[in-house]
A and B are shown apart, each in its own frame.
Chain A
Amino acid sequence: MHDSATLKVPNGKLLEVEVTYDDRVTDVHVTGDFFLEPPESHAALEAALEGHPTDVSRATLSEAIQGVDATLIGFDAEHLAAATLEAIQ
């Protein structure tokens, strides 16, 4: 399955999350007009969203995102977790 979700963060940036999954999330692409420091952390951020079962909780996803050594600018871990779950559902 392949789905996507778009989230405009209030007073923030646009997040578009594309998810490929079966019973687990196999591939995630996160795009938008946000900022990340360092920018090279983008791949690690996407990887942190992969491998979870499709019924993963928002808290678990959020925790995985927070585990990445990155500063998220224009969105936070909760926004990205919510957009990822919305894409799966």
Chain B
Amino acid sequence: MTYRIIDDGTYSEPVQQALEGVLAERLDEGELEPTLRFWYRESPAVALGRFQAYEDEVAVDYVDQRDLDVVRRLTGGGAMYVEPGAVITYSLYLPREAVPDDIETSYAALDQWAIDALRSSGLEVSHEPLNDIAHPDGKIGGSAQLRKDDAVLHHTTMSYALDTSEMLRVLRIGEEKVSDKAIESAEKRVAVMRDYVDASREEIITVLKDTFAERFDAEPGSLPNAVIDEARIRASETFTTEEWNRKL
């Protein structure tokens, strides 16, 4: 099995999230090779878990004031605040037979190459069930999956240099339901790579790509224009709409 590694294309958060559905479906229909894709974003945004309630997760007035895109993902899991140069996001689109059936096993298996890559960069990270990449000082990243009949999407976002104070203003991790003490611990629970390594974000991405290519058969690739066009249509029809983003 030969993977494509796609490491280009900067898109808005709604288009990025739309691409996930388009690419997972293409793979499911046998129209896409197994692929590893790195994300480049246009602006800071919030990615909500599919089943999260909008008003429970984001500081609504603050995200309106900052005019942040808040986009509901196709995948479950938790809300993330993302900034273009401060997080690393990648997606794997895989045939279902290449992924363990057991969910917990599959998260660990699909995160392993990335954990090994980060370890080789000097980051003391490990997989923490169900879907976290953890450093002794806190969570560095998280993954989420979507399963189709013949395809699995596994995407992961990691903090490279995320502004965790800003994250706490954007997300309601700390508000109301939780005490001040909990805010402090929430902030502590997020670890960012740049606190531990000198490598730039680009260098970390290079190590990730190299580790993946050493472990699996992989060739560089790019997104077909038809995929990008389809994602732009879905972004405007779904991932930019209140009907989808605020549906819960």
Q: Does A74 contact B49, Cβ atoms closer than 8 Å?
A: no
Task: Find chain B residues with CB under 8 A from A11 CB.
Answer: 129
Tell me if B78 counts as interface (CB < 8 A to partner A): yes
- Within the assembled complex, what's the spacing in Å between the Cα atoms of A37 and B78? 16
- Within the assembled complex, what's the spacing in Å between the Cα atoms of A31 and B247? 11
- Within the assembled complex, what's the spacing in Å between the Cα atoms of A39 and B146? 8
Kindly report which residue of chain A lies nearest to residue B103, judged by CB atoms: A73
Tell me if A53 counts as interface (CB < 8 A to partner B): no
Shortest Cβ distance from residue A43 to the other chain B in the assembled complex, whole angstroms: 11
- Within the assembled complex, what's the spacing in Å between the Cα atoms of A30 and B177? 17
What total of A-B pairs shows CB separation below 8 Å? 52
- Within the assembled complex, what's the spacing in Å between the Cα atoms of A34 and B76? 6
In A3-45, which residues have CB < 8 Å from any B CB? Answer: 6, 11-13, 16, 29-39, 42
Q: Does A33 contact B248, Cβ atoms closer than 8 Å?
A: no
Task: Find chain B residues with CB under 8 A from A73 CB.
Answer: 76, 103, 130
Tell me if B114 counts as interface (CB < 8 A to partner A): no
Tell me if B213 counts as interface (CB < 8 A to partner A): no
Shortest Cβ distance from residue A33 to the other chain B in the assembled complex, whole angstroms: 4
Q: Does A30 contact B51, Cβ atoms closer than 8 Å?
A: yes
Tell me if B22 counts as interface (CB < 8 A to partner A): no
Task: Find chain B residues with CB under 8 A from A34 CB.
Answer: 51, 76
- Within the assembled complex, what's the spacing in Å between the Cα atoms of A37 and B24? 14
Q: Does A6 contact B49, Cβ atoms closer than 8 Å?
A: no
Task: Find chain A residues with CB under 8 A from B147 CB.
Answer: 37-38
- Within the assembled complex, what's the spacing in Å between the Cα atoms of A62 and B53? 23
Q: Does B103 contact A71, Cβ atoms closer than 8 Å?
A: yes
Q: Does A33 contact B129, Cβ atoms closer than 8 Å?
A: no
The 9 closest A-B pairs by CB, nearest first: A35-B76, A33-B78, A31-B53, A33-B49, A37-B147, A31-B248, A73-B103, A39-B50, A31-B51
- The interface of chain B, by Cβ under 8 A from chain A, is 49-53, 56, 74-79, 103, 129-130, 144-147, 177, 248
Q: Could you list 12 further interchain pairs (A-B, Cβ under 8 angstroms) beyond the known A6-B177, A31-B248?
A: A11-B129, A12-B130, A31-B56, A33-B76, A33-B77, A33-B79, A35-B103, A36-B51, A37-B103, A37-B147, A39-B76, A73-B76
